[in-house]
Amino acid sequence: MTIQLDEIYQLSYLARDLEPNQYSPNSIDKTKYIVNVNNLLPFDDIISKFVSNNFVILKLDSDEYFKNNILSELSKIFGKMIEQTPAKDSIVYNIESSRSNKTSTKNNTYQPLHSDGNFKPNPPKIIALQCLQHSELGGYTKLVYARKIYNFVKDTSPSELENLFDINGIKFYRKDRNSKKLKIIEYNKPIFYRLENNRFGISFNPMMSRIESTKEIEDIYREISKFASEPKNQLTFQLRKDEILIVDNFSLLHARTEFPEDGGRLLRRAWYDGESNYDLNLGFLP
């Protein structure tokens, strides 16, 4: 059994089209998650908001030097910055749009819910997205709590739940973006991880060339995609210029809605390993 990429895209598009308006207004009061930052990092505020919500939004009122260096400064809280793919050898990665670019992070089409770096042996625990310029229309961020997804699977397919922790449960096929020739990378990944302190983490990315597993797990993959695409399960807001979204990649999936190609949207992204001196409460309790 296999799931083809197109099929997952169709599912998430279908769910997206159920929304009354693709450019729907914010579904949450974003200000509840915001920490104001000048030229000094307010460590306690950032950590406490991050720990209670699994994400935080920094609103910068800072000079250019501070803005240009804040992603590396944040490693004092969120751990070492790690190399990103597809931008090989890069710890800060620019996300700008171009319809012709097939890399989903680099074009302006809808990007379905996923966690970052799912294909890496050690996916980043934390992602930061610094908005240098937002698009007036669209480009909304969507977040879905992994705990909700876990409970959904527990309710609908309890007998399969344990199989989703199996490292050999799902085989992924992914195009190697660093190779000039068409090269397919294969790797195995579970959907859920067991972390420290009885906490769990998620790893989910439907944007692969192909996914192979048992019929039961493939059905669950489809159902998770559909469930996560339902607006009522999502927190939606627009990340605006001079804001930085910091997300626990093991306890939230993220997505982005379509936006006009000439909208000028530009983000800078960093990945952190989460090895921190602070207790960041990563992952979720079932």
User: Given the rule CB under 5 A, which residues bind Fe ion?
Assistant: 116
Least separation in angstroms between CB 111 and Fe ion: 7
Q: What is the DSSP string of 63-117?
A: -HHHHHHHHHHTHHHH--B--BSSSTTBSSEEEE--TT--SGGGSSS-EEEE-TT
Q: Which is nearer to Fe ion, 116 or 258 (CB)?
A: 116
Q: Which is nearer to Fe ion, 75 or 249 (CB)?
A: 249
Cα 280 from Cα 43, distance rounded (Å):
12
What's the DSSP call for residue 4?
E
Least separation in angstroms between CB 254 and Fe ion: 6
Least separation in angstroms between CB 255 and Fe ion: 8
- Residues in CB range of 66: below 8 A, 6 or more apart: 39, 60, 73
Cβ 175 vs Cβ 210: under 8 Å: no
Q: Which is nearer to Fe ion, 66 or 119 (CB)?
A: 119
Q: Which is nearer to Fe ion, 51 or 207 (CB)?
A: 207
Phi and psi at residue 275, to the nearest 5°: -80, 95
Q: Which is nearer to Fe ion, 41 or 211 (CB)?
A: 211
- Residue labelled with tokens 């210029």: 241
Which residue of this chain has its Cβ atom nearest to Fe ion in the complex? Answer: 116
Phi and psi at residue 91, to the nearest 5°: -100, -20
Q: Which is nearer to Fe ion, 30 or 114 (CB)?
A: 114
Least separation in angstroms between CB 216 and Fe ion: 27
Cβ 194 vs Cβ 165: under 8 Å: yes
Q: Which is nearer to Fe ion, 204 or 284 (CB)?
A: 204
Least separation in angstroms between CB 247 and Fe ion: 9
Least separation in angstroms between CB 234 and Fe ion: 15
Least separation in angstroms between CB 284 and Fe ion: 18
Q: What is the DSSP string of 115-164?
A: -TTTTSSS--SEEEEEEEE--SS---EEEEEHHHHHHHHHHH-GGGGGGG
Cα 149 from Cα 152, distance rounded (Å):
5
